């Protein structure tokens, strides 16, 4: 880990738990793409800047999850720079309490107000206000409500969490996604592309992402098939989620309960939109059954 890889004349990647991109603009000014999960991640980025005599111009976040913007505050304060993302993600970057609030659907309990779900507030602007030659914004929503990818002039696409490595999928078949329909649409879009390199935030640099993207899609569709199968018999949402946790061997804790619960609801939205399930409420409980 912590290896700086050059992928083109102007594009570099720092291999980390959350991969960090560097794009050289003019006069040794650098755009940093995502900042990792913490102040420690920011300090690693800072070392790369100093070692290469690069000057931080701004930060671009693919989305607002804490492991992608955790280093924003440190770098913004040290270098007096702004961060940018899509309009929706920028709003959450500026108000990170919204992240656990979305999961909890109310003011979140203290156990969800942790550094894994809620980074320090950023000073983030709409990326439409940013004009840097050589950088193109690509819509990759699904995993997050307004996730974007960044395509550089070297043909390198930073994909955020549009897809993840097969190693991670083998361990965690159910990946958090805000909108499963858009997630699969994004995967289908990536299958039509032919860029020089693909850099997922949690995965390996690839010249061809087709196999990895297909495995991501197949994994999601298998979860959908599984849900339809077990919903042949009507279940309350509580019983459905309990069975998912058991069948997928998911660790029982409050954060996983809300992350997985939210993702299962996203699957239910997709199935409901396709008229494959019906959802009713009786005696204060939500029930779901395949049609």
pLDDT computed for residue 3 by the predictor: 87
pLDDT computed for residue 266 by the predictor: 98
Domains in the chain, CATH or no CATH each = 3-222 (3.60.15.10), 230-290 (no CATH)
- From 67, 113, 124, select the one nearest 90 (Cα to Cα): 124
- Quote the CA–CA distance of 61 and 72 in Å, as a whole number: 9
| Tens-place pLDDT, residues 112-151 | 999 999 999 999 999 999 999 999 999 999 999 999 999 9
- Quote the CA–CA distance of 70 and 51 in Å, as a whole number: 22
| Tens-place pLDDT, residues 197-219 | 999 999 999 999 999 999 999 99
| Tens-place pLDDT, residues 81-105 | 999 999 999 999 999 999 999 999 9
Contact 119, 72 (CB under 8 A): yes
Average pLDDT, rounded, for the chain: 97
Q: What percent of the chain has pLDDT over 90?
A: 98
Largest CA distance in the chain: 65
> In sequence order, what are the residues at sequence separation of 6 or more whose Cβ sits closer than 8 angstroms to the Cβ of residue 73?
39, 42, 119, 120, 121, 122
Angstrom distances, CA of residue 152 to CA of 18, 106, 182: 19, 39, 23
Q: What percent of the chain has pLDDT over 70?
A: 99
- The tokens for 290 are 């395949």
pLDDT computed for residue 26 by the predictor: 87
- The tokens for 108 are 């979140």
Averaged over 15-30, what is the pLDDT? 95
Contact 13, 19 (CB under 8 A): yes
DSSP one-letter string for the chain: --EEEE-SSSEEEEESSS-EEEEE-STTEEEEE---SSHHHHHHHHHHHHHTT-EEEEEE-S---HHHHTTHHHHHHHHT--EEE-HHHHHHHH-TTHHHHHHHTSSPPGGG-STTT-PPP--EEEGGG---TTEEEEE-TTSSTT-EEEEETTSEEEEETSS--HHHHHH-SS---S-HHHHHHHHHHHHT---SEEEETTS--BS--HHHHHHHHHHHHHHHHHHHHHTTS-EEHHHHHHHHHHHTT---SHHHHHHHHHHHHHHHHHHHHTTSEEEEEETTEEEEEE-
Averaged over 263-282, what is the pLDDT? 98
- Quote the CA–CA distance of 159 and 235 in Å, as a whole number: 36
Binning pLDDT at 50, 70 and 90, where does residue 268 land?
very high
- Quote the CA–CA distance of 254 and 245 in Å, as a whole number: 12
pLDDT computed for residue 29 by the predictor: 97
Averaged over 57-61, what is the pLDDT? 98
């Amino acid at each position: 880990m912590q290896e700086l890889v050059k992928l083109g004349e102007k594009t570099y990647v720092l291999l980390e738990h959350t991969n960090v991109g560097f794009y050289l603009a003019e006069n040794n000014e650098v755009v940093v793409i995502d900042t990792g999960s913490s102040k420690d991640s920011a300090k690693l980025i800072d070392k790369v800047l100093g070692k290469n005599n690069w000057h931080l111009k701004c930060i671009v976040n693919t989305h607002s999850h804490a492991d992608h913007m955790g280093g924003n505050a440190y770098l913004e304060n040290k270098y007096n720079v702004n961060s940018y993302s899509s309009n929706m993600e920028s709003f959450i970057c500026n108000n990170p309490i919204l992240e656990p609030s979305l999961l909890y659907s109310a003011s979140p309990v203290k156990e969800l107000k942790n550094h894994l779900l809620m980074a320090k507030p950023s000073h983030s602007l709409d990326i439409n206000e940013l004009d840097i030659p050589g950088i193109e914004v690509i819509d990759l929503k699904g995993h997050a409500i307004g996730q974007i990818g960044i395509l550089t002039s070297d043909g390198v696409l930073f994909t955020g969490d549009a897809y993840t490595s097969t190693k991670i999928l083998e361990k965690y078949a159910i990946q958090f996604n805000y909108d499963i329909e858009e997630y699969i649409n994004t995967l289908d879009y990536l299958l039509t592309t032919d860029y020089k390199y693909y850099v997922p935030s949690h995965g390996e640099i690839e010249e061809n992402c087709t196999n990895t993207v297909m495995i991501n899609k197949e994994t999601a569709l298998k979860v959908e098939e599984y849900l339809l199968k077990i919903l042949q018999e009507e279940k309350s949402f509580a019983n459905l989620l309990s069975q998912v946790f058991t069948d997928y061997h998911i660790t029982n804790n409050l954060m996983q309960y809300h992350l997985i619960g939210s993702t299962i609801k996203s699957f239910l939205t997709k199935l409901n939109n396709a008229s494959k399930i019906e959802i009713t409420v009786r005696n204060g409980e939500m029930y779901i059954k395949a049609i």
